[in-house]
C-alpha cells in the first residue's frame, strides 16, 4: 500500500465524530444489519467518517449540517431498497466527488472499484451536449447511460431525489416549482416504469403538494374525515373472507390503504367527478405469506367471489401475464350487497415486494433465482434498447421521447409464431414493426392483424396477433409521426423527417444560388440569416426549405435582397423588424430582475411600478391561486398559475426567466373565471343558474355555453370573480341548485 493511502486511511480513522454523529452511525449500522443480508461495519463506518469530514462546516438550506443529506439517502438505500452495503457506502459518498476535493481514484483506493463505479454513475457530468438549454437533459442522459451498466445507480439517484423532495420546503418557491416539475415529469414516470410504485407514489404526492397546494390540502382533509368510516368498512368487508381463509389454513396479511393523493386528484380530473363520487379511493390487498404460490392466489380469488359479486370488466390477471416491469397480482373489483364497489388485489409476499420495490426487489432476488434474474435482465435490455435507437440531435428531444413510454398502460401482442411482445397502450402496427426490428419498421408496407390485412396505422388491442409484410426498399412516411407512440418508432421517423427537410433545403438553396448568380447579386450567409429572421424564420435553412417546397417565391426574395443591398440596410438593419439579440434578451431580463428587487417577489396589481405584467390566457389565474411570473423578451411579466402546463414547460426550458409572484393584499379588480356544471336536464335550469349568480351572489356573467344529451345537462359558465374564495363560494351555491350533480372549476 502506498504511503499516501496509509495517511488518508489513518486520517479518516482518527477523525472524531461528535455525540450526535456517533448516534447516527449506530442507527445506520443497526438498520443495515436489520435490512441487508451482509454488512461490512468497517466499510460503512469509514464511508460515514469520510462523508462527515468532507462536508464539515457545510449546511443545507434548512440550516442542518450537509452530511445529514447523504446519511438520509443511505438510510433510504438500506431501508426501502435493502440491496447491499456497497450501495449504502456509495449513497453516503454520492456528493463528495462533485462537491468536495475527494476524487474517484481516492474512492477506489479507500473502498473498491464497485463503489467508484456507483459514485461515478450518480455524479452529474456536464458538457455532454453543446447547447446551453439541455442541462437537465444532460443529467438525465448520464443517469440512463449509467443505469445500463449498474441499476443500483438509478436507485441511489431515486433515494437522493426523494430526500430532496422531502425537504423541499426550505427552498425558495421558484426553485421548489422547478424541482417539483422536473421530478413529476422525469423521475416519477421513470420510477413507475421500473416498478418502484412506493417511491413513485411519494414522488407524485410531494410534487403535487408544491405544484397545486390548494387541491392537495383539499384531498388530505377529505381523506382524514373519512378515515374512521373507511377502516370500519374494510373490517366489515373482510371479516367473512378472513374466517374462511383461516379455516383453509392460509397465512396472510390484509392491508386496506387509501390511494395516494395525486392518483385521487387525477381520477377526479379525468372522470370529472367530485371527491365523494370516486368509488375506488382505497384498495384492499391480500398478501399470502411463504410458501404460498400463485395457485393459492386463485384460491383466495374464489373465496372473495363466493362472498361478493365480481365486475368482469374490472378483472386483471397480472400473474399469468406480468407487466413489463415484473409486476404480478390479481386485481378484481367486487360489489357488496349494499351496492358499494371495492377493489381487491391478491398476491404473494414476493409479488408484493416486487410490486412495491420493483427494480430493487429484482436485484435482491436475482442471486440463485433464475426468475428474478430474468426480470432484471428485461429492465436492462429495455434501457439499452432505447439507447441503441436512433437518437434525436437535441438531448431535450431524447428525454421527451424516452418519457413517452414510461407512464403508459401496456398491451400484449403476439407475433405469428406466438412470441409475446409488450407495447404501450395506443401502439400501432408501425410500433410493432419497430419493436420486432428497426429494419422491419423501415421496410414495412402492410400488416395482418388476426389474419386480416389492415393499414399500418391501425391501433392494436390486447391479444392481437400481428404479422408485418415488408418490401425491399425503405418505406418510411413522415405522416406516421402521429400514429406511433414508442420511442424507437418516433426517433427513427424524426431522423427521417430531418433528413428529408435537409434535402429539400439543399434544393431550395440551389434554386436561390442560381437566381442570385443570374441576377448578379452577392449575399453572405450572415446577411441571408438576417433576411430570414425578418420573415420570422429561425435561420436561413428554414427559408431555403420553404423555397424548396414552393411555399416561398424565390423571385420575391431576390427583389427584397436587391432592394436592401442597394439601400445598405443589410449592413444596418431596421431595429423595429429585426429579431432581438440574445444580449438584448438578457438585458431585458436583468432590468426586470432589478425592478423586482433581489430576493423579493413581484406583487401583482399595481403594487410595483416600472414593471408591466399581464395574465396568461392559458390558465386565467385569479387572486388566491398559487402563481409564478415569466419574463418575456420585452421585459414584461406574464403571470401563470403554478399548476399550468405551460408554466411547467417554462420552468423546465427557461427557468432563468421565471420569478416568484405574490398577490397584493387588496385588489379592487375583477378576474375571469369559469365553472363546469353537470346535472339532470330540466325546464328552467339555465334560468335558475343565472338567477343564483345575479341575485344571490351579485356576480356578473360573461358567457354561458350549454349542451344537453340523454337527459343530462352540461354548461360552461364564464364569470367575473374577485378571488379564489369568491369562485369557491359560487361553486358551493351552484351545487345547491336542484338537479345539479357536480360543479367544478373549468380549466
State the Cα angle at 259 between 257 and 263, rounded to 5°: 170
Pairing of strands 330-335, 341-348: antiparallel
State the Cα angle at 720 between 596 and 724, rounded to 5°: 60
Alpha-carbon gap, residue 142 to 59, rounded angstroms: 27
Question: Quick check: 75 and 33 in contact, CB under 8 A?
Answer: no
Alpha-carbon gap, residue 348 to 292, rounded angstroms: 7
Alpha-carbon gap, residue 107 to 93, rounded angstroms: 9
Closest CA to 407 of 323, 505, 533, 519: 323
DSSP type of residue 346: E
Identified catalytic residue from 99, 377, 510, 654: 99
C-alpha cell of 348?
404473494
Query: Helix, strand or coil for residue 712?
Result: strand
Partners of 452 in the β-ladder: 449
Alpha-carbon gap, residue 162 to 258, rounded angstroms: 21
Alpha-carbon gap, residue 162 to 181, rounded angstroms: 14
Which burial class, exposed, middle or buried, applies to 429 when counting CB atoms under 10 A from its CB (0-12, 13-18, 19+)? buried
**Known catalytic residue: 98?**
yes
- Tell me the three-class secondary structure of 183-244, residue by residue: HHHHHHHHHHHCCCHHHHHHHHHHHHHHHCHHHHHHHHHHHHHCHHHHHHHHHHHHHHHHHH
Burial 208-240 (b: 16+ CB within 10 A, else e): bbbbbeebbebbeebbeeeeeebeebbeebbee
C-alpha cell of 12?
479518516
Residues 6+ apart with CB under 8 A from 696: 733
Integer distance in angstroms from the first to the last C-alpha of the chain? 67
User: DSSP characters for 366-378?
Assistant: -TT-HHHHHHHHH
State the Cα angle at 468 between 465 and 471, rounded to 5°: 170
Cis before 139 (ω within 30): no
**Known catalytic residue: 439?**
no
Identified catalytic residue from 10, 27, 37, 98: 98
Query: Helix, strand or coil for residue 405?
Result: coil
Closest CA to 149 of 412, 419, 372, 380: 380
Alpha-carbon gap, residue 308 to 334, rounded angstroms: 6
Q: Which residues are catalytic?
A: 98-99
Amino acid at each position: 500500500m502506498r504511503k499516501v493511502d496509509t495517511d488518508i486511511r489513518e486520517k479518516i480513522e482518527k477523525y472524531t465524530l461528535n455525540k450526535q454523529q456517533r448516534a447516527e452511525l449506530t442507527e445506520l449500522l443497526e438498520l443495515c444489519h436489520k435490512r441487508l443480508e451482509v454488512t461490512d461495519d468497517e466499510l460503512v463506518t469509514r464511508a460515514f467518517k469520510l462523508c462527515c469530514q468532507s462536508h464539515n462546516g457545510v449546511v443545507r438550506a434548512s440550516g442542518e449540517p450537509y452530511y445529514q443529506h447523504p446519511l438520509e439517502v443511505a438510510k433510504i438505500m438500506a431501508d426501502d431498497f435493502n440491496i447491499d452495503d456497497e450501495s449504502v457506502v456509495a449513497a453516503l459518498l454520492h456528493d463528495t466527488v462533485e462537491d468536495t476535493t475527494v476524487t474517484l481514484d481516492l474512492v477506489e483506493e479507500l473502498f473498491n472499484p464497485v463503489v467508484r463505479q456507483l459514485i461515478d454513475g450518480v455524479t452529474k457530468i456536464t458538457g455532454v451536449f453543446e447547447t446551453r438549454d439541455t442541462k437537465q437533459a444532460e443529467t438525465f442522459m448520464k443517469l440512463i447511460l449509467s443505469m445500463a451498466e449498474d441499476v443500483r445507480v438509478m436507485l441511489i439517484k431515486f433515494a437522493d431525489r426523494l430526500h430532496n423532495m422531502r425537504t423541499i420546503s426550505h427552498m425558495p418557491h421558484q426553485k421548489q416549482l422547478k424541482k417539483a416539475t422536473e421530478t413529476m415529469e422525469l423521475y416519477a414516470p421513470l420510477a413507475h416504469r421500473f416498478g418502484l410504485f412506493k417511491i413513485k407514489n411519494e414522488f407524485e404526492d410531494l410534487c403535487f403538494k408544491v405544484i397545486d397546494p390548494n387541491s392537495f390540502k383539499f384531498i388530505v382533509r377529505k381523506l382524514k374525515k373519512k378515515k374512521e368510516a373507511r377502516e370500519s368498512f374494510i373490517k366489515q368487508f373482510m371479516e367473512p373472507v378472513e374466517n374462511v381463509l383461516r379455516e383453509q389454513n392460509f397465512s396472510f396479511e390484509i392491508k386496506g390503504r387509501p390511494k395516494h393523493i395525486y392518483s385521487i386528484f387525477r381520477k377526479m380530473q379525468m372522470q370529472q367527478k367530485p371527491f365523494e363520487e370516486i368509488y375506488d379511493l382505497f384498495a384492499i390487498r391480500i398478501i399470502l405469506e411463504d410458501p404460498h404460490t400463485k395457485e393459492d392466489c386463485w384460491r383466495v380469488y374464489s373465496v372473495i367471489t363466493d362472498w361478493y359479486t365480481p365486475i368482469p370488466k374490472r378483472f386483471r390477471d397480472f400473474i399469468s401475464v406480468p407487466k413489463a416491469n415484473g409486476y404480478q397480482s390479481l386485481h378484481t373489483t367486487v360489489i357488496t350487497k349494499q351496492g358499494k364497489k371495492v377493489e381487491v388485489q391478491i398476491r404473494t409476499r414476493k409479488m408484493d415486494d416486487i410490486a412495491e420495490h420493483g427494480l430493487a426487489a429484482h436485484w435482491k432476488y436475482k442471486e440463485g433465482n433464475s426468475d428474478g434474474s430474468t426480470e432484471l435482465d428485461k429492465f436492462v435490455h429495455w434501457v439499452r434498447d432505447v439507447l441503441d435507437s436512433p437518437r434525436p440531435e437535441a438531448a431535450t428531444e431524447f428525454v421527451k421521447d424516452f418519457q413517452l413510454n414510461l407512464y403508459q398502460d401496456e398491451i400484449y401482442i403476439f407475433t405469428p409464431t406466438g412470441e409475446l411482445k409488450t407495447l404501450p397502450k395506443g401502439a400501432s402496427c408501425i410500433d410493432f414493426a419497430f419493436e420486432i426490428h428497426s429494419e422491419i419498421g423501415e421496410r414495412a408496407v402492410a400488416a395482418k392483424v388476426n389474419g386480416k390485412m389492415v393499414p399500418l396505422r391501425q391501433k392494436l388491442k390486447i391479444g392481437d396477433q400481428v404479422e408485418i409484410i415488408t418490401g425491399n426498399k425503405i418505406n418510411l412516411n413522415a405522416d406516421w409521426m402521429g400514429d406511433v407512440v414508442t420511442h424507437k418508432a418516433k426517433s427513427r421517423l424524426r431522423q427521417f423527417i430531418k433528413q428529408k427537410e435537409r434535402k429539400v433545403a439543399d434544393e431550395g438553396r440551389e434554386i436561390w444560388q442560381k437566381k442570385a448568380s443570374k441576377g448578379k447579386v452577392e449575399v453572405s450567409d450572415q446577411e441571408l440569416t438576417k433576411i430570414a429572421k425578418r420573415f420570422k424564420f429561425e435561420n436561413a435553412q428554414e427559408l431555403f426549405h420553404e423555397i424548396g417546397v414552393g411555399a416561398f417565391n424565390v423571385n420575391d426574395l431576390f427583389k427584397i435582397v436587391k432592394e436592401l443591398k442597394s439601400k445598405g440596410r443589410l449592413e444596418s438593419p431596421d431595429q423595429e423588424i429585426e429579431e432581438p439579440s440574445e444580449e438584448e434578451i438578457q438585458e431585458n431580463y436583468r432590468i426586470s430582475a432589478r425592478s423586482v428587487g433581489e430576493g423579493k417577489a413581484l406583487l401583482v396589481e399595481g403594487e410595483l411600478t416600472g414593471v408591466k405584467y399581464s395574465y396568461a390566457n392559458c390558465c386565467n389565474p385569479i387572486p388566491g391561486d398559487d402563481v409564478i411570473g415569466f419574463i418575456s423578451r420585452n421585459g414584461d411579466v406574464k403571470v401563470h398559475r403554478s399548476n399550468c402546463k405551460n408554466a411547467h414547460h417554462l420552468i423546465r426550458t427557461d427557468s432563468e426567466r421565471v420569478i416568484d409572484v405574490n398577490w397584493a393584499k387588496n385588489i379592487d379588480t375583477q378576474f375571469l373565471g369559469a365553472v363546469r356544471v353537470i346535472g339532470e336536464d330540466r325546464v328552467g335550469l339555465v334560468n335558475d343558474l343565472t338567477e343564483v349568480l345575479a341575485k344571490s351572489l351579485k356576480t356578473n356573467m360573461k358567457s354561458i355555453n350549454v349542451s344537453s344529451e340523454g337527459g343530462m345537462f352540461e354548461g360552461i359558465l364564464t364569470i367575473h370573480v374577485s378571488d379564489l374564495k369568491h369562485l369557491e363560494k359560487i361553486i358551493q351555491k351552484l351545487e345547491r341548485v336542484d338537479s345539479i350533480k357536480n360543479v367544478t372549476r373549468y380549466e
